[in-house]
Amino acid sequence: MSPSFKRKIGFFAKSTKDVFSFFFSLAKKSRRTKIFFILSFLPVFMAFVVKFSQIFQLSRDIEGIYIFNNMIIAFYLQFLILILALFYGSSVTSEELEGKTLTYLTTRPVSKSAIIVGKYLAYTALIIFMVTLGVVFSFLVLNLSELRSVSLYKILFRDVAVLALGLMCYTAFFTFVGTILKKSIMFGLIFSFGWENVIQYFPGSTQKFTIVHYLKSLLPSVSRGRFSFLLFRLEPSSTGTSIFMLFLIAAVFIVLACVLFTYKEYILKD
Amino acid sequence: MTAIIQTQNLSKWYGNVLGLSDVTLEIEQGITGILGPNGAGKSTFLKLITGQIKSNIGSVTIMGQPVWNNYPQFSEIGFCPEQDSFYGEMTGWQFLTSLLRLYHLSSTEIEKKADKALEIVELSEDKNRAVRSYSRGMRQRLKVAQSIAHDPKIIILDEPLNGLDPLGRRKIIRLIKEYKGEGRTIVVSSHVLPEIEAMTNQIILIHQGKIFAQGDIHYIRDLIETHPHIISIRCSDPRQLAQKFIHHDFVLKVNFGLKKGVLLVETNSRDKFFGLLPSLFVENQIEVEEITSPDDNLQAVFDYLIGK
C-alpha cells in the first residue's frame, strides 16, 4: 500500500468519524428519533401487558419465548426494521435537500463519500441501538421467570444480530434510493411491503432477490405460533452465504450511493 | 496582482432556463461585489465558484485548482449561503462546533474558534439558545459566523446583509472591510446597491445571466460613453459659470440645482470637462465650495447598463 493511498484512507476515516459524531448527536435529539423510539418500545409495553395478565391470571399461561419469537417475526422483522431503515436511510440525502442544509456539508473539507458513509453509520448505529433496547427489554419482561436459562440468551443474541444485519442492509439500500429518487418514501413503502413481502415466496432463485430471504435464512426453519407462516421459507440459503450476501448488499448500495452523491448535482430550490 | 478565482466561458442552465452565460472573469484579492437584481444569476455564479453546482460549459478554478469535488480546497474557503436554513434542533454553539469538527480540528481549537466567531458576530450571549428561536438577523449573523469561523483565506458571502438591522449591517460591512485589510479575498453579492457601495469599488454587474461590466466603479462608469455624466458644482456665481459652459460642445445641458448656488452640468466627456474647469474658475474669479458627481454611484451605473 503506497503512503499516499494510506494517507487518503486515513483522511477518509477521520472525515467519516467527524461526520458520524455530527449526525449521531444531532439525530439522537431529533423529534423523529423520539417518535420512533416510542414505536420501537411498543413491544415492551405489550410485553408488560402480557406479563401482568399472566401474573393476575387474566389469560392462559403461554411460554415467554414463544411470544417473543412471534414478536420478533411479526413486529420487528416484517415491520419495524423496514420502517426505521426507510425513514433514516432515505433521509441521509433527502433531509439535506429538503432542509437546504446540504451547502453546509459540501463546503467543508470532507469528501462527499465521507458524508454518505458517516451519516449512514450514524443513523444505522442509532436505529440498531433503538431496536436492540426494545428487543432486550421485551425479552427480559417476557422471560422474567426463566432468566437463568443460558439457551434463551442465545436466541436473544441471534435475533438481535439478525435484526442488526437487516437494519444495516435495508438502511444501505434506502440510502442509495434516497440519493437517486426525490420521492423515495413512496418507492420504499412499495419495496418494503410489496416486493419484499411477495418475492420472498417465489420458488427458485427469484426469492434470492430479496433481503428478507437472507434474514429469514438465519432464523430457525421451524417456528411455533400464530405468525409462524411469516417465517415460511422455500429454499433457505446457508448461514455463511446469507451473512456474506447481507454484507455484500449493504456494501454495494453504500458504494453506489457514494458514487452517485459525488457526481450528481443537487440543486437547492431558492 | 494574481487572480484568486478564475472562470472561463462559464455557463449554466437549468433545463430551458439560463442561469449564467459565458462568464469569463478573474477575481483578485480584496473585496469584489457581485451586483444584480433578483434572478440575475448572482447565486448561480456563487454556487458555481463554490462547487455547489456543475457548469454546463466552461471552468472555474480557485488558486489554480478546479473547484468541483475538490473538497480539500474548502479548508481555505468560507461560504455563507443565501438560504435561511439550519439544523433547527441545534443551538448556535452546537451548530458552529459541529461544522468546525468537519475541519478535523482538536476540541480545544474548535471551542476557541467557535467562541471567536460568535464574539465577532455578537452572538456569544445567545449561543446556547436553539437556532429556531433566533431572529432573522441573528440567524444571518450565525451564517456569517460559520463562514469565517475556520479563518479562511477566501470568503464568499451570498446576500450577507439580508434581514439585518442597520446596526447589524454596519457591523458586517466593517467586518468585511477588516478582512480585506488582512489580505483575504472576499466575494460578496447583493441586489441592494448601497450595500455593495459601502464595501467596495470593485464590482461585477450581472444581469440576465450575463456579466454587464466588471472593474472599478469609475472604470465602469467610463465605459458608458453614450450616457452623459452629471457633475454638480456649488460655487459663488453659478449663473456666470453656466454662461461659460454653454459654448462647449461636450457640455450637453446646464441646470440650476434646487439648492442655492448649485449648478448641474451634463457632459459626454468628463476628461475634457475637468480639464477646462480650473481655468474657468481662475479666469472668472469664481469661488468653488464643492464639486460632486451625483450619478457616479452604483445605482446610476446599474440603471444605465440595464437601460433604465
pLDDT at B100 over 80: yes
Share of chain B above pLDDT 70, in %: 92
Side-chain half-sphere exposure of B290, counting CA atoms within 13 A? 11
Inter-chain contact B43–A111, Cβ cutoff 8 Å?
no
> Domain residues for B266?
224-305
Highest mean pLDDT (candidates A159-173, A182-196, B165-179, B273-287): A159-173
Q: CATH number of the domain that B277 lies in?
A: 3.30.70.100
On whether residue A170 sits in a domain, the answer given is yes
User: Which chain A residue is nearest to residue B49, measuring alpha carbons?
Assistant: A107
The candidate with the shortest Cα–Cα distance to A169, out of A73, A108, A85, is A85
Inter-chain contact B85–A31, Cβ cutoff 8 Å?
no
On whether residue A159 sits in a domain, the answer given is yes
On whether residue A256 sits in a domain, the answer given is yes
Q: Are residues B228 and B167 in the same domain?
A: no
On whether residue A75 sits in a domain, the answer given is yes
Using CA atoms, how far apart are residues B138 and B171, in angstroms rounded to an integer? 13
Q: Is B99 on the interface with A (CB under 8 A)?
A: yes
What residues have CB less than 8 Å from B219, skipping those under 6 apart? none
ipTM of this model? 0.86
What are the chain B neighbours of A262 within 8 Å (beta carbons)?
69
Please tell me which of the candidates B14, B78, B102 has its beta carbon nearest to residue A110: B102
What mean pLDDT comes out for the span A106-135?
97
pLDDT at B60 over 60: yes
At B191-247, the pLDDT tens digits run 877 788 889 989 898 988 999 888 887 776 666 655 677 888 999 889 999 998 888
Q: Which residues pair with B185 in a beta bridge?
A: B30, B154
Using alpha carbons only, how large is chain B's radius of gyration in Å? 23
> Domain residues for A100?
30-263
Q: Are residues B204 and B296 in the same domain?
A: no
Q: Are residues B118 and B134 in the same domain?
A: yes
Q: How confident is the model at residue B298 (pLDDT cuts 50, 70, 90)?
A: low
Q: Is B79 on the interface with A (CB under 8 A)?
A: yes
Q: Are residues B34 and B183 in the same domain?
A: yes
**Model pLDDT, residue B260:** 84
Q: What are phi and psi of B244, to 5 degrees?
A: -75, -35
Q: Domain total for chain B? A: 2
On whether residue A173 sits in a domain, the answer given is yes
**Model pLDDT, residue A231:** 55
On whether residue A217 sits in a domain, the answer given is yes
On whether residue A20 sits in a domain, the answer given is no
Using CA atoms, how far apart are residues A173 and A248, in angstroms rounded to an integer? 11
Q: Are residues B266 and B121 in the same domain?
A: no
Residue where one domain finishes, among candidates B200, B218, B236: B218
Inter-chain contact A268–B86, Cβ cutoff 8 Å?
no
What are the chain B neighbours of A16 within 8 Å (beta carbons)?
none
Strand B251-256 and strand B262-267: the pairing is: antiparallel
On whether residue A15 sits in a domain, the answer given is no
Q: How confident is the model at residue B84 (pLDDT cuts 50, 70, 90)?
A: very high
What mean pLDDT comes out for the span A70-89?
91
At A171-211, the pLDDT tens digits run 999 999 999 998 899 999 999 999 998 888 787 788 889 99
The candidate with the shortest Cα–Cα distance to A126, out of A34, A249, A45, A44, is A34
List C-alpha distances in Å: A131 to A19, A39, A125, B3, B66: 23, 10, 10, 55, 45
Q: Are residues B120 and B254 in the same domain?
A: no
Write the single-letter amino acid at A63: E
Number of helices (H) and strands (E), helices first, in chain A?
12, 0
**A126-129 contact pairs (CB < 8 A, 24+):** A126/A24, A126/A27, A126/A28, A126/A33, A126/A88, A127/A36, A127/A81, A127/A84, A127/A85, A127/A88, A127/A167, A127/A171, A128/A163, A128/A164, A128/A167, A128/A168
The candidate with the shortest Cα–Cα distance to A220, out of A83, A79, A62, A72, is A72
**Model pLDDT, residue B305:** 67
Q: Are residues B248 and B154 in the same domain?
A: no
Q: Domain total for chain A? A: 1
The candidate with the shortest Cα–Cα distance to B155, out of B179, B134, B133, is B179
Q: CATH number of the domain that B27 lies in?
A: 3.40.50.300
E-assigned strand segments in B149-261: 154-158, 185-190, 202-207, 210-216, 229-235, 251-256
Alpha-helical (H) ranges within B71-106 are: 92-101
Per-chain mean pLDDT for chain A: 89
Write the single-letter amino acid at B130: A
pLDDT at A224 over 60: no
Residue where one domain finishes, among candidates B187, B218, B249: B218
Q: Are residues B13 and B71 in the same domain?
A: yes
Q: Which three cell numbers stand for residue B154?
A: 477566501
Q: Are residues B111 and B140 in the same domain?
A: yes
Q: Which three cell numbers stand for residue A233?
A: 421459507
**Model pLDDT, residue A63:** 76
